[in-house]
Each structure stands twice: as C-alpha cells, then as structure tokens.
Structure 1
Amino acid sequence: EHHGGLGRQEATRLLTEGEQLGSTLVLLESFLTFYLFLTDCIARVQRFLVTRLGEDWIFLVLLGITMALVSWTMDYASAKSLQAYKWIHGELRGNIPLQYLAWVSYPLMFIIFSSLICHLVAPQAIGSGIPELKTILRGVVLKEYLTLRAFLAKVIGLTAALGSGMPVGKEGPFVHIASICAAVLSRFMSFFSGAYRVNILTVGCAVGVGCCFGTPLGGVLFSIEVTSTYFAVRNYWRGYFAATFSAFIFRVLSVFNKDAVTITALFRTNFRMDFPFDLQELPAFALIGISCGFLGAFFVWLNRQVVLFMRRPNAMTRFLIKYRLIFPATVTLVIATLTFPPGFGQFMAGEVRVQNLHPQRHPACSLASPQKAAFIIWVLIICVSLPLWVQFWMSAVATTMPIPSGAFMPVFILGAAFGRMVGEIMATLFPHGIVFDGILYRIIPGGYAVIGAAALTGAVTHTVSTAVICFELTGQISHILPMMVAVILANIVAQGLQPSLYDSIIQVKKLPYLPELGFGHTRLYNIVVEDIMVRKVTFISSQSTYREVKHLLDSSSLKSIPLVDSKDSMILLGSVDRVELLALCDWWLSPERRILIRFFQHLPLPSPDPPSSGFYDSSARPSVCSLLQIRAWEEAEMDLAMEMDEIRVDPSPFQLVERTSLQKTHTLFSLLGLSHAYVTSIGKLVGVVALKELQKAIEGSTHSGVRLRPPLASFRDVSKHKSVPKLTPPSTAPSSQSSTSSPSPQSFPSAPPSPASEQIRHRTHPHPNQEQETEVWIEGGTGDTEASSSNSDLALPPSSTPPSAPPPSSPSTPIPLSTLRPSQRLQNAEDSDDEPVV
C-alpha cells in the first residue's frame, strides 16, 4: 500500500506537470502566432509605403526630421552655453582679474575639449567638410569621412566650438553632418545604392544648409554652387523637398521652445518697402561689392597662408604636431584676450549679436551740424575699421584651428559690419536724406549691412546664392537689385584674384580635384589625350598565371586592373577589381580547395589513429618529403593559367581614344565623376589618364611658365607637312619614383631586374621624352595623395618589343567574350574598393 500511494502521487505529479507544460506550449504558440502576424503586418505596410510612395520619399522625410532635431539640439546647447558664459562674466563684475580669468578659461576649456574629441574619435571631423564633400562628389572616395564616428565627433565638437563664443561658423560642418546622416540612412534603403550615392550626398548638402539657417531655397542653390560642377535637374525636387521639410521642423521646434512667437526669418528686418533706396545710392552699393571682392580674396589668401605656415616643416611645427592642443589653446587665449569687454573688447562690441547690424535706425550724426560732419566721418571710419580688421584676422585664424568650424557665419558678420560702416558713412554724408518727388527719404544703414554680408560671403565662397540666403534670413527682398549687383561685382573681383575658400583648402590638403578650364585659353584645344596619357599601364591578360597576378598585387596598390586579350594583341576586354583577384589568389591555395581536389581525385582522407599509450607517433609531424611535395604542388599550381570564369569582369570600363581633346576629357570627367579612363586605339590598350594627369595638363596650360609633360602638341604644329618617323618607346622607360617600385607587367618577372641590366637597357633604348614621364594617379592605396600615386604606373609593352613567352601550362587561346560577366558592386558597408582612396 505504501508503494501504491507513492505511485499514485508520482502519477498525479506527472499529470500536473504535463498539463502545465501543455498550457505553456499553447501560450508560446499563441505568442509566436502573434509575432508572425505582427511581422507580416509590418512587412505589408512597408511594401505598401514603398510601392505607393517610394523609398525616396521615406528617405527624405527621415533625413529632414533627423537633421532638424540635430540642428535644434546643437543650437539649444550652444545657446545655453553662451548664456552661462555671459552670466559668469556678469556675476564677477567689479573684480577685473577674476573676470578676465573666467572670460579666458571658459572658451579655452570648450576649444580644448572639441579638439581632443576630434583627435581621439575621428580626425576627419576637423575643419569644414565641404572641400572633402566636393572631392567625394567628383568620384573620389575618402576613407572614414562618411562614418558614424565622424558624425559623433563632428556633432559634439561643433557644439562645443559654438558654445565657446569663438568666431567659428556652423554652416560648413553641418553640411558634412547632413551628408554623413544621408550616407548612413542610405545603407538601410536598397533604392539608394550604387549610382544613387551621389544623389543622396547632394541632397544631404542641401539639407545641411537649409536646416542650418532655415533657408531651404538658398540652401539648395548654395549646395549646388559649392559642391557640383554639373547638376542633375532630376535631383531638384529631392533637394527642395528635404530642405523645406527640415527647415520647417527646425523652425517649429524653435516656436515650441518659445524662442520665437511664430515661424519667421532668423534675422528679421523691417525696411520700408515703398522707397527702400534711391538710384543715387547704386554707386555706393557697387563700391561695397568691389570692396568685398578684394576683402574676400584677401581673406582666402590670409587663411591659406596661416595653414601653409603651420604646415611648414620646422622645429615649431614639429613641436605643435607633437603637442596638438597648444595651437588651439594659444589662438583661443589671444582671441579671448582681445575680446575681453573691459579691455579692447569694449571697442569691438563682442556682446552685440548680428541682428543688431541690420535694424532700421537713424544715426545720431544726422542731427549734427555740417561743420562737424567731416570730423564725425573720420572718427567713424577709424573707430569702426580698426575693430573690423582685428575681427577679420581673428576669423581667418580661428577657422584654421583643429576643430569642426566653418567660415560662412564669421564672414557673413564681417560683411555685415563692413556694409554697416559704409551705410553710416553715407548717412553722415547725407544727414537729411535724399529728396525724391518732393519727399525726404532717409538712408537706411541696415540695408547696406545686408548687402555687405551677401557680397563678402559670395566673394569668399564664389557663389551668387548668398543673396537668396540673405533674402530668406531677413525676410525681405526690398534690396534685391543692389544686392545682386554687389554680389556679382564681388564675385568678378574675387574670382580673378583667388580661388574660393573651399578650393583653396582642397589645394592645401592636396586632395584630388579637377580644376576648371579657363576662358580664352586657345592652347587647350590643341592638346589631346595622347599628349598627357601615361603609357606605362598595369594590366593582366587571359594567359596570366597566378604567380604573375600575385606578383602584380604585391607590387601595386591599384583598385582596378585592366584585362587584355593577350600580350600580343593588347585588345582591352574589361577591368577587374582588386578584391576579386585577391579572393581568387587566396582561394587557389586555400585548405578548402586542397580538400576538394583530394576528394575529386578519389583519394581517401587520412583518418586519425588512436594515440598509443607508450610510444611517440612519428606521423603526427609531417615529414620533409611531404613538405617538399606540398611545396612542389603549390609551385605547380601557381604556374597554371588564371581561371577567368571565377572572377567578375567589368566588360565596359570607360575608354577614350587617342585624339580626344582635353576640353572634352575634362567635361566627361566632371560630368560622370570619373577617376580614370583607359585610352585605346582601335580597341588596343595604349595608355591611361587619371585625375592627376588631367590636373597637370590644365594647370600647365592655364598658368604661365608651366610646360606640359610631353610637348607633342607643339610637335604636331611644327611637323604638319613633314613625314616624321614614329619613335618606338623602350620597354622599360624610367618615369618617376613609382617606376622603381612597380615591375614591368608584360612579363611579370618573379624577381626584379638587376641595376646593371637596367643601365644596359637604358643605354641601348634611349627615349626622347625620358625625363618627362610622370606617374599616374589612378585608384591609389589608403595612404595620402602623394603616396597613393606612387605605385600606379607600369610599363606597357611597345609594338616593337617581343612579348615574353607564356608559361607552358598557360592556355594559348584567348578568353572568349561570352565568359565575361558584368561586375557587381559589393553591398556591404565597405563597398568602395573600386574607386580611388585618399
């Protein structure tokens, strides 16, 4: 009975546990059913939205909302920081030493923090970001410039810099921030990949400017002028939609935070609309434009000279590079000392905001007598111009600090101050105003300030859309005609003296860029591609062995390699990505392939024997004979011809013919964002042209005193009616420093030739243009620009040089065109290996 009772208890327990387990399973099944139903509903809604609206609308809305939130958050944080800055200064009033200590240490702390964040998290966040985006939109990939780390460093560093009160701007870095956000969001949208990458970056630039100031119209136009040489009109609606949506959300957030009563202009003005200016004032407006043109060119020159001075190799620059925080700390200390209110800062109106430069106020000197008018003019010029020049060089130097900083807003303030000074002088010269139709109209100095701001900003950036930005910032277009006249005159003067600020930074950083063709240079029409192309090209053929390909990959850093039919015909079949060749070479001798080969040869796989208890297993370590066999097998495999079916080939790389003009080549490179182009003659590969060759040719033609590398253009002019025998270039013509590090590709030698053989070959095959060969810059490595172009030109076999015999195991028949497959872009986040890297 005792055992029976225990059995019944155990059966009851098991039955209870079974019922509980069954109820748990039912509950889990119901949850799983609900989860599957919810997932299916979300997928259906996503498909409906994508089908009906399109991914582009969803992407633009998300980009606008995100950037509006980021912009408002940064403005809110920087505004609170500046309020705390002024509060500390006000609380210490009466104690000058403590006031000075607080006035200097507060921005010093923020600037050092900003510089430290950029240095530790992402050095790519330093500076404006627009020059780098301009380079990226021209087809060059800059590593780590569009990553999440750069986004975080840029946002945090820019917020700290704006909160320090230093003369730095927000517009340039915020364009970079918006472009990073657009690039990160596009990774989750399958629609925005491949060819649409340039479109989303253009939209990001427009959103960055539009959301920064709440100016969508001027933001789109400014982003187009600054970043694009040729703009696709189909992207207009994307830029306007995203910029308008982002600016609307940005202004609505300001209203919700009670920073504004309603959605109005950021720097609203109330100029009279019935008679804003008289025709007699147009010469003064034109004078503002011409003067701002000279000032803008001088600002660009001064900024570049400061950067070049800091990059000059000497003991001081080496010390500053070693201790990176000393330079921003020194600049901040000097600027804070000069702007200290009880000191020289009381003459600079450091606490006056830019809104106070635009009001419609009548000057006090209008009530003075005519005898005092001349004296007041000179006092006004001296008292206003001295602080203006101090602020001028402070802004030029502050924008060179290693922090996220822009120059748009500091230049905008300088232009407004200069225009205000001219307006006050005009109001002093005409104290009673201008009489028109029997009515006296006083001069508005605030209108001159708006015109000066637009003119100086346009002169520095070489844009005309700054006038539209000023219209949206002030909310009035009463001075549209004089503003456009001043901006155009400023651009005419500035473009004739200096490049734009962004082009100047590109030149200083030595980023790959394509200079513009100047007007009136007739020599450009006499230059063709064969004059500037590099004839020593790295290539592979259909008979190339794995050893040759491996040697080529180890000796060069190209991201794309041309594929020819054979070394005799040199017919261009396409191009192969470097990653494809690396993957193929790694697979060819991989353990997985060894196992597959042994399996298909029907050889039994070795089975591990059980270890003996007291004896040493001699078969546990491979013998010398087996190692030699493995080595011999590897050598034999490396001498086999490359299997072309295993790689993806781009059958349509961009090609040019020998007689393509330089102007047409420049247009194609600018329009399509090309980094390089192969030069062919009746289908034969004869050379390659990259951005570097095109840049040297254009600069050599437009700048005096610079000669082109091969003077074939003038040679053709001299020998138009003469029969000149064609010179055959030697097989190993020395070109530059890169020729010493790059082997000849036609034979792919396993060992480099000796110096003696090189000297004999050079003596027996002289070349008339031997010293004028330059290296090609085509899809370099991950180093800087100078290093990336040093391993990119290899000798192309001439027609007179007999090609080396292929290995015995190589197939003699060329690869059929039917085996070529179009290359596909990698879809992961590191998909940028088919483009040049800086």
Structure 2
Amino acid sequence: MEFPFDPQELFVFALIGAFCGLGGAFYVWVHRQYVIFMRNSKTLNNFLQKNRFLYPGIVSLWVSSLSFPLGLGQFVAGDLDTHGQVASLFSNFTWTNANLTVDEYMVLTHWTTPWTGPLVNLLCHIVFNFCTSIVCSTVPVPSGIFIPVFKIGASFGRIVGECMHLWFPYGMRYGGNIAKIIPGGYATVGAAAFSGAVTHTISVSVIVFEMTGQITHIIPIMIAVLLSNAIASLLAPSIYDSIILIKKLPYLPDLLPSSSAMYNIYVEDFMVRDVKYIFHGMTYEQLKSLLKENRPLQSFPLVDNPDSMVLLGSIQRIHLIQLIERQIGRDRRLQVVMDRQRQARERARQEALKKVTEERKRRPSRFQVVPADDLYQRQLSENEIHQQTCHNPVFGCQPKKSILKKTNSFTMKGISPFISPNATPYSTVTGAESRIKIAFDAIFRKSSQLQDVNCDSQTMIRTGSLDKPQIIPMSPTSSKKVTLPKERICDMSPEDQRRWEEEQMQMAVDFSSHCHIDPAPFQLVERTSLLKVHSLFSMVGVNHAYVTAIGKLVGVVGLKELRKAIEEANSGNLLPRPVGCYQQGHTYYGNSVNNDDGTDKEPDVSTALMSNSTEV
C-alpha cells in the first residue's frame, strides 16, 4: 500500500483540523483574558512590581510540584522530558492493544497508572499543558509557546487515534483492502493542526515532516492545517498578534488577496487632515504650547508659513526642546546677568572718568590741602625695615655681656623715630615735628613693647630658688583653618527672571541655527493606493508619512490609520470615496467645494496639528 491510511480517514483528519482550529482560537482567547486580568489587577501589579523575581520562582515551584513524577506528575508523564513525550506520542503502535512487546510496554508505563489508563492520562496531559503554558508565558523570562501547543495537539490526535482503533480494531476496509489504524499518524496530524491554529502558520507542517523524517501523511496534515488555520483566523488572531495587541506594539496586518478594494482605496480616503506643524516666524511661546499639548509626538513637520503650507522638512522633538532650553535656560540667564553687570561697571567707569575730567577742568583753590603721600609711604617703609632688623638680629651685631656683673640689654621693637603716631596722610611739609621729639614720644608711649634680648622668643618663669631660674618655652598657638569663600554666582531675582523669560518667549524661533532639520521626510501623494502604502511601510519601516500635493502639506498617515484602513478593507467596511462626499455641510467635487449657499470655494485644508493617534 502506498499510503499508510485509508481515504475514508481523511474525513476524520478534517474533523481533527476543525476541532484544533476551535481549540486554537480558544487557547488564544484564554491567554488574552489571563494577561488582561493580570494587568487590571492592582494588587497583583503591586506585588509583581515589588517582587519581580519572586513571581518566576512561584510559577516554577507550582509547575514543578504538579509535574513531580511521584505525585501528580504520574498522570501527565512527568518522568519524561519534552523529547521523550513527543517521541512516545508519535510511537507507531496502539497503546490499547493487549499484545505488547517489552519495549512497547515500557513506553506505555509512562502514560498509565494503577488508577487510570492511557486515555485519561492523555486528557490530563492536555489540561496540564494548556494551563501551565498560559501561566508561564506571563513570566518575565524568555520562554516559548510553540512546543507546549505542539504537545497539546499531539495528545489530542493520539486520543482520536486510540479511539479510532477501539472503534475499528481490524482497520478500515476500502475496495477490498484493509488499512490498519495508526494512532501515531493521528498524533502528527493533531500536533500540526493545533500548533498551526494557534500561530496561524502553515509552515508548521514542514516542521512535522522534518521531525518524523517522512512525508507519508502529507495529505492529512495539509488538510488539517489548512482547515484549522481557516477556522482560527475567523475567530481570533494568532498568539503573536494577540501579544502585539496586548502590548500595543506597532504592526501591520496582511492584505487579503481576494480584496479588490485595496486597489481603489487611496491615501486621501483615510489620512489625517488635522496636522500638527511648526512654521518660520512662530514664537517660543507657541512652540512651547505645541510641545506641551502633543507629548506623544516625536517629530513635527516644518512649513514656510500657515498660508502656503509648503513642506520644508521635519524636526525631532528633542531638538525643539533644546531650542527652548538654549533660549531661556540657566546658562543663557547667567550670561545675560554677567553682560548686564559688565555694562553697569563700564557705565560707572565712564561716569567716574567723566567726573574726574570735569574736576580737572575747574581752577584749583589756593587753600586746597594736598596729602603728602610720598613722605608717608617712605616713613612706613623705613619703619618696616627697622622692625625686621630688630626681630631678626644678625650674629655679632648684639652687644656682648660682661663677665664681671650682670647687665640687661634691651632693644625696641616696632618703634621708628622717624614717624609720629599722630602723623596723618594729610600732614603738610611745613607742619612736621622734629625727629628728636618724635623719638622721645615713641619711647615713652611704647615702653611696654621692650623685651629682654636673651629671652628672645621664650618666656622666663621662676620656679624654686632665685639662683636657678628655669626657662619654660611657651607652646605655639594653634593655627586656625582658613576657609576660602565659595564662588559667588549672581543670578536674577524670581521677579526679574519671570519678566525676562516672558520677554524671551515672545521672540521668534530661529530653526536654522542649532537645530537639525530633516530636509526630506517620507512623503506620499494623495492618490497613492492602499496596497502601495502597505508595501512602503513594511519595507521602509517608517511609522508615519506626510501627504503632500505639489509640495503642500495636506495630511499625515500613521501606523494606526493604515492598520485600521487595512482591517476595514479586508472586512469590506472601507469603500472607495465617491466623487462627491459630504463633510460638515460642504460637498467636495474634485478640487472645489460647494457650500450650502451655492458658491464655489477652494478647499481649505486644515492646518491644525496631528492628533496623538498618528504616533504609535
């Protein structure tokens, strides 16, 4: 026999595909509901945020406890790994047969218990993998869904194959030939059909061929996979599309080949005409309001002016924020304060210079007192030299002591006979006192500063007898730490800062300086078909495109609008716009607008700002 199955079994294989399609859609729906439940539960979200690594441990402990071979794991073949489970499910013999070999019996022992048979264990295996795979997919650890759903389909196909063998123990007769029932073939068909229904792929059949190493069941597998894909596609998205929808990631659905509307639907039918834009001549205050009202937008189109709306390029949001920061930021404010202080000092210097110049022009008075700066400075210099000489005596300059009797020699420190304590910078030359009188006055007034020459920098303290005085040096004074003042930063007062910022925000923005402008953003024309837009977005990978008409910005298309248009075109809800359409009391006919009063007027394209929904 060329094929190991009977043609009558194709109907059973088709039923397997139909049930797998329903089961795959139900699996995706349960997964979606569980993830949404976790996201909406505030208690669970708080627990996961505070214990990010505890949740994977709890799930791992739960799965390990259920699959423990000496416990509940004996009902789900817990003593086998994934490879062993798939190999045993694809085994080419009947588990319900009474006459088994030793090897076949060893395989069957993993799927039977003293209390249950293979069919009950297969059903438990389906329920176990169905629940645990959904829960484990929410763990923040890289994991897969394909192998669990593959085992679910294999278990379901094995149950159908074992039931077929019980119903037809001698096989199915067709045209005088008897074809025995092979449950392993049903397991391969079920695995391919269920995994294809969950993932919405047909290439899973090729995976089954590579795993089994034969293509004898190519017809049953293809029938079941195609039928399961068709049913699952009508009921629910694939598991990957469902995850994308849950996480709100950007994606584009595929266009149905049978949909002819994709060739007759153009960009102007679904583009957003309410475009957010920036233009030359706008103030910083307008730019700030634009950025604040449209936080999700990451780029803005640049036009020459709101009247002509000629597209010049696009600017990223971060560059616009940097422009505002450079205009009213802290560095700019401190620079303005420094400039103002420098200008104030310059004005003060000029005023002082002008005042001195005016005073010089006036006639000097004969009774004006002129300070004797030179004489006073010379006397101070001589006094300092004399003090240094007294404090630092040179060896051999001091008078020697006599060996016959005790004599005390004294020296004066800090006394200059050339300067009077009453001398002032305003002393005149004619009123100077004699040097002798100055010297005697200084001696009598500064007598407390006389020190013993022999003591030098030490202080004599008499202890004990008078004959043996002891000299105890004074401890040096502790030096004090000198803290330098911090750099003083001059800034504006809050009121001045507010007034200065208001003045700066009313200035026009210069986009050509310190700002990167994209001179060629991605653009489309109004008559670009939906099919071409889908191809361009898929190949180029852009998330939005500007729609222009002869260089004039008329709209924008984002991933959200394109995805919605494709879904509506596939379902037949989006139809090509007729020549005349009504919008807010106006009728569009070609390039003119017919108002309610019957007058013709050129269409005024809205120059507002792009809605938040255009950015994904």
Q: TM-score w.r.t. structure 1 length?
A: 0.45
- Secondary structure of residue in 1 paired with 2:553: strand
- Secondary structure of residue in 2 paired with 1:677: strand
In structure 1, distance between residues paired with 2:307 and 2:273: 16
Decide whether aligned partners of structure 1 residues 283 and 338 sit closer, same or farther in structure 2, where only a CA change above 3 A counts.
Answer: same
From 152, 164, 178, the counterpart of 1:426? 164
In structure 1, distance between residues paired with 2:336 and 2:550: 42
From 594, 601, 609, the counterpart of 1:724? 594
Q: Say if 2:221 is the partner of 1:351.
A: no
- Secondary structure of residue in 1 paired with 2:612: coil
Question: Does the 8 Å CA contact 2:279/2:304 hold for their aligned counterparts?
Answer: yes
Question: Does the 8 Å CA contact 1:459/1:487 hold for their aligned counterparts?
Answer: yes
Residue equivalent to 2:518 = 650
Deviations along 1:137-172, one digit per CA (max 9) or x if unpaired, are xxxxxxxxxxxxxxxxxxxxxxxxxxxxxxxxxxxx
Residue equivalent to 1:450 = 188
2:594 partner letter = V
Which range is displaced more, 349-358 or 508-517?
A: 508-517
Matches within 5 A, 1:144-155: none
Residue equivalent to 1:495 = 233
1:575 partner letter = S
Residue equivalent to 1:577 = 316
2:23 partner letter = L
Residue equivalent to 2:138 = 400
In structure 2, distance between residues paired with 1:344 and 1:555: 58
Q: CA deviation at 1:394?
A: 3.2
Q: CA deviation at 1:676?
A: 0.9
From 127, 147, 165, the counterpart of 1:409? 147
Residue equivalent to 1:360 = 92
Decide whether aligned partners of structure 1 residues 386 and 728 sit closer, same or farther in structure 2, where only a CA change above 3 A counts.
Answer: farther
Residue equivalent to 2:612 = 776
- Secondary structure of residue in 1 paired with 2:79: coil
- Secondary structure of residue in 2 paired with 1:562: strand
Q: CA deviation at 1:502?
A: 0.6
Decide whether aligned partners of structure 1 residues 639 and 302 sit closer, same or farther in structure 2, where only a CA change above 3 A counts.
Answer: same
Q: TM-score w.r.t. structure 2 length?
A: 0.59
Deviations along 1:468-524, one digit per CA (max 9) or x if unpaired, are 222223333333333222222221121111110011111122223333445766777
Decide whether aligned partners of structure 1 residues 454 and 493 sit closer, same or farther in structure 2, where only a CA change above 3 A counts.
Answer: same
Residue equivalent to 1:279 = 7
Decide whether aligned partners of structure 1 residues 303 and 661 sit closer, same or farther in structure 2, where only a CA change above 3 A counts.
Answer: same
Decide whether aligned partners of structure 1 residues 637 and 455 sit closer, same or farther in structure 2, where only a CA change above 3 A counts.
Answer: closer
Question: Does the 8 Å CA contact 1:534/1:689 hold for their aligned counterparts?
Answer: yes
- Secondary structure of residue in 2 paired with 1:495: helix
Q: CA deviation at 1:542?
A: 3.0
Give the alignment's Cα RMSD to 1 decimal: 5.0
Q: CA deviation at 1:410?
A: 0.4
- Secondary structure of residue in 2 paired with 1:298: helix
Matches within 5 A, 1:15-414: 275-313=3-41, 332=60, 335-352=63-80, 353=84, 354-365=86-97, 381=119, 384-414=122-152
Question: Does the 8 Å CA contact 1:546/1:642 hold for their aligned counterparts?
Answer: no
**Structure with the higher fraction of residues in strand conformation:** 2
1:478 partner letter = T
Q: CA deviation at 1:331?
A: 5.0
Decide whether aligned partners of structure 1 residues 592 and 315 sit closer, same or farther in structure 2, where only a CA change above 3 A counts.
Answer: closer
In structure 2, distance between residues paired with 1:516 and 1:367: 52
1:393 partner letter = C
Aligned residues: 446
Q: CA deviation at 1:344?
A: 4.0
Decide whether aligned partners of structure 1 residues 635 and 401 sit closer, same or farther in structure 2, where only a CA change above 3 A counts.
Answer: same
Question: Does the 8 Å CA contact 1:545/1:642 hold for their aligned counterparts?
Answer: no
- Secondary structure of residue in 1 paired with 2:301: strand
Residue equivalent to 2:306 = 567
Question: Does the 8 Å CA contact 1:292/1:459 hold for their aligned counterparts?
Answer: yes
Question: Does the 8 Å CA contact 2:39/2:45 hold for their aligned counterparts?
Answer: yes
Question: Does the 8 Å CA contact 1:419/1:451 hold for their aligned counterparts?
Answer: yes
1:349 partner letter = A
- Secondary structure of residue in 2 paired with 1:686: strand
Question: Does the 8 Å CA contact 1:422/1:448 hold for their aligned counterparts?
Answer: yes
In structure 2, distance between residues paired with 1:621 and 1:697: 59
2:205 partner letter = A
- Secondary structure of residue in 2 paired with 1:669: helix
Decide whether aligned partners of structure 1 residues 551 and 483 sit closer, same or farther in structure 2, where only a CA change above 3 A counts.
Answer: same
- Secondary structure of residue in 1 paired with 2:594: coil
Q: Say if 2:548 is the partner of 1:680.
A: yes
In structure 2, distance between residues paired with 1:580 and 1:672: 24
1:304 partner letter = R
**Structure with the higher fraction of residues in helix conformation:** 1
Question: Does the 8 Å CA contact 1:537/1:688 hold for their aligned counterparts?
Answer: yes
Q: Say if 2:246 is the partner of 1:515.
A: no
Deviations along 1:343-392, one digit per CA (max 9) or x if unpaired, are 44322222232222222234452759xxxxxxxxx976555335423432
Q: CA deviation at 1:460?
A: 0.6
1:724 partner letter = N
Gaps of 5+ in 2: 101-115, 347-483
In structure 2, distance between residues paired with 1:349 and 1:727: 77
Decide whether aligned partners of structure 1 residues 636 and 500 sit closer, same or farther in structure 2, where only a CA change above 3 A counts.
Answer: closer
Question: Does the 8 Å CA contact 1:562/1:572 hold for their aligned counterparts?
Answer: yes
In structure 1, distance between residues paired with 2:501 and 2:248: 48
- Secondary structure of residue in 2 paired with 1:678: strand
Q: Say if 2:465 is the partner of 1:465.
A: no
Residue equivalent to 1:7 = none
Decide whether aligned partners of structure 1 residues 712 and 562 sit closer, same or farther in structure 2, where only a CA change above 3 A counts.
Answer: farther
Question: Does the 8 Å CA contact 1:366/1:427 hold for their aligned counterparts?
Answer: no
Decide whether aligned partners of structure 1 residues 719 and 535 sit closer, same or farther in structure 2, where only a CA change above 3 A counts.
Answer: closer
Q: CA deviation at 1:640?
A: 4.7
Decide whether aligned partners of structure 1 residues 284 and 622 sit closer, same or farther in structure 2, where only a CA change above 3 A counts.
Answer: closer
Q: CA deviation at 1:552?
A: 3.9
Q: CA deviation at 1:720?
A: 8.4
Question: Does the 8 Å CA contact 2:273/2:606 hold for their aligned counterparts?
Answer: no
Q: CA deviation at 1:407?
A: 0.7
Decide whether aligned partners of structure 1 residues 469 and 595 sit closer, same or farther in structure 2, where only a CA change above 3 A counts.
Answer: same
In structure 1, distance between residues paired with 2:56 and 2:491: 64
Higher CA-based Rg = 2
Decide whether aligned partners of structure 1 residues 275 and 316 sit closer, same or farther in structure 2, where only a CA change above 3 A counts.
Answer: closer
In structure 2, distance between residues paired with 1:639 and 1:390: 68
Q: CA deviation at 1:566?
A: 1.9
In structure 1, distance between residues paired with 2:589 and 2:488: 80
In structure 2, distance between residues paired with 1:486 and 1:475: 19
Q: CA deviation at 1:572?
A: 0.6
Residue equivalent to 1:26 = none
Residue equivalent to 1:534 = 272
Q: Which has the higher contact order (CA 8 A, sep 6+)?
A: 2
Matches within 5 A, 1:725-740: 725=595
Question: Does the 8 Å CA contact 1:693/1:776 hold for their aligned counterparts?
Answer: no
- Secondary structure of residue in 2 paired with 1:512: coil
In structure 2, distance between residues paired with 1:310 and 1:538: 36
In structure 1, distance between residues paired with 2:580 and 2:41: 38
In structure 2, distance between residues paired with 1:381 and 1:714: 63
